[in-house]
Amino acid sequence: MSTMDLVVVLLVTIGSAIVAVLLTVWISSLVQAHRVRMEPTLDEARQVIVAALSGEMLQSNDALATLSRFSERYIVGVMLELAPSVAGSSRSVLAAFGGQIGAIDRARTGVHSRRWSTRLYSARVLTAFGVESTPAMYALLADRAPEVRAQAAAWCVAVPSPGGTERLIRLLADPDGQCRFAAQDALIRIGLPATEALVRALDVADDDTIDRILEIASASGDARYCSKAYALLADPFNVHRAMAVAALAGSGDRSAGPTLVALLDDPSDEVVLAAAAGLAKLAFWSEAAALEPLLSHPSWEIRRQAATTLLAFGAPGTILLQANAPGVGPAADIALHSLQLRSLTTQEEVA
């Protein structure tokens, strides 16, 4: 075969390949366009599922027949949206739908897949339908893919259990930031049932995990953290002490007010800032005068927080700010600034 023949064969081969690729893309586009035209919209899927959960569709078979028009991914997406606000009999309806369309059985198998994307999707399905405890899902909390571990943490919220809580606490020390955030968020959403395990974990946690647990404590409003928080006020790390102050304020226990007032003189700016913010949470207006010196503090953040807290106290705090506003210096500046902002906010609310 001559050189010219080889060139011709090569050009024909390349041309055929290009035509095949273009044909494949064209057919795929036609299929996708047809699917988009034929498949109901996500809003329609949401309306059908909400109607079924609210009892407007009296026969579950009717709901199932309607849902059969949707792809599984549509249904799972809607279920994930609805799951946080669904409980009781509605949760049972969700699980029944998942079983009838076969999604749950496929997901139970998929969590064992060697492909992380399949494990992730399967975990999303089991989370969406609130499938009860399964050892495979607990195992996913230690999965090699951080995305899967984070999704497994979300499943623990949908299906809370003591075993899940303990594993979530261990996940607070995960090397991946996404997983740590997912575990922290999950424990906050689980709420009071997780408190006892978290309080015990404070005794053995490392420095970073202590901070994350205290963040959960400050968001939970549970007084059971108070004894640990008081103990941590003597910790050598300022960050721990500041987080302990936030946890005390988050508990809503006004008996912590005098402690927070005393910490307004702490040598650490972090602790002072946390104490000033905490007094606002506790609405400890009787000690408004203790915040007045902070209006002249060298730290702008502390001056701003002191003014914000005084505004939160209502009339007692506002009077102190008005008394400082006519003067000269940092206290006057921050007082005038805060009063002007409050005035603008009030005008917007009236409008």
Q: What is the pLDDT of residue 36?
A: 47
Does the pLDDT at position 138 exceed 80? yes
Average pLDDT, the chain: 82
Q: What is the pLDDT of residue 97?
A: 72
Q: Taking the CA of residue 291 as centre, how many other CA atoms within 13 Å lie in the half-sphere pointing to its CB?
A: 37
Q: What is the pLDDT of residue 350?
A: 44
User: What band does 91 get if pLDDT is binned at 50, 70 and 90?
Assistant: low
Average pLDDT for 154-163 = 87
DSSP string computed for 59-120 = -HHHHHHHHTTS-HHHHHHHHHHHGGG--THHHHHHHHHHHHTTHHHHHHHHTT-SSHHHHH
Q: What is the pLDDT of residue 45?
A: 64
User: Could you read off the pLDDT of 326-336 as tens digits, one per residue?
Assistant: 888 899 999 99
Report which residue type is found at 257.
Answer: G
Does the pLDDT at position 144 exceed 90? yes
Q: What is the pLDDT of residue 66?
A: 64
User: Could you read off the pLDDT of 237-287 as tens digits, one per residue?
Assistant: 899 999 999 999 988 888 999 999 999 999 999 999 999 999 999 989 888
How many C-beta atoms surround the C-beta of residue 261 within 10 A?
Answer: 19
User: Could you read off the pLDDT of 298-322 as tens digits, one per residue?
Assistant: 999 999 999 999 999 988 899 999 9
User: Could you read off the pLDDT of 169-227 as tens digits, one per residue?
Assistant: 999 999 999 999 999 999 999 988 999 999 999 888 888 899 899 999 998 888 889 99
pTM of the full structure: 0.73
User: What band does 340 get if pLDDT is binned at 50, 70 and 90?
Assistant: confident
Gap between the Cα atoms of 209 and 170, Å rounded: 9
Does the pLDDT at position 63 exceed 90? no
Q: What is the pLDDT of residue 106?
A: 86
Report the interhelical angle of 300-312 vs 315-324 (nearest 10°): 130
CA dihedral 121, 123, 127, 131 (to 10 degrees): 120
How many C-beta atoms surround the C-beta of residue 127 within 10 A?
Answer: 24
Instruction: Give start and end residues of each alpha helix (H) in the chain.
Output: 3-38, 42-53, 60-67, 72-82, 89-100, 103-110, 116-128, 135-140, 146-158, 162-171, 177-190, 195-201, 207-220, 226-232, 238-250, 257-262, 269-282, 300-312, 315-324, 330-350
Q: What is the pLDDT of residue 58?
A: 44
Q: What is the pLDDT of residue 274?
A: 95
Gap between the Cα atoms of 205 and 133, Å rounded: 26
User: Could you read off the pLDDT of 7-54 as tens digits, one per residue?
Assistant: 666 666 777 777 677 777 767 665 555 454 444 555 666 676 666 666
